[in-house]
Amino acid sequence: MKTAVIIISDPKSGTEEANGRLFNALSLAYEAKEAGDEVAIVFIGAGTRWPAELAKLSNPFNGLYNLVRDKIVGASCACAAVFGATEGVKACGVPTLSQNPVPTTPGLASVRNFLVEGYTTLVF
């Protein structure tokens, strides 16, 4: 199986829903990884704020994040810029993705590429 986990929830919203989405996204990625599936995790939109939050040892999801960190493909370059997350993404060593060259932007992560490559693509 090939699964793309796209994280778009916003940690700054401070809601249980945002945390629930993240927790379920990382849990799915972990389950798929443990099953030997091909897994790709991408942060887009306000979700590009997550890497900086997840890198904090005090974050309750830090341990789970570290278990699937090797499956992180990157964060959308343009989204990180729009949501003020570029420095946090870079500081965490998460690559920025810009395969979708939307005019007037530095490029966004391409969700379409996962679909073309046959990934089951889930957005959290």
The residue range of the domain holding 27 is: 2-123
Q: Is 108 exposed, middle or buried (0-12, 13-18, 19+ CB in 10 A)?
A: buried
Could you give the number of structural domains in the chain? 1
- CATH code (residue 28): 3.40.1260
Contact 4, 121 (CB under 8 A): yes
At 26-73, the pLDDT tens digits run 999 999 999 999 999 999 999 999 999 999 999 999 999 999 999 999
Mean pLDDT on 78-85: 97
| Per-residue model confidence (pLDDT) at position 73 | 98
Per-residue pLDDT for 84 more than 90?
yes
Mean pLDDT on 92-117: 95
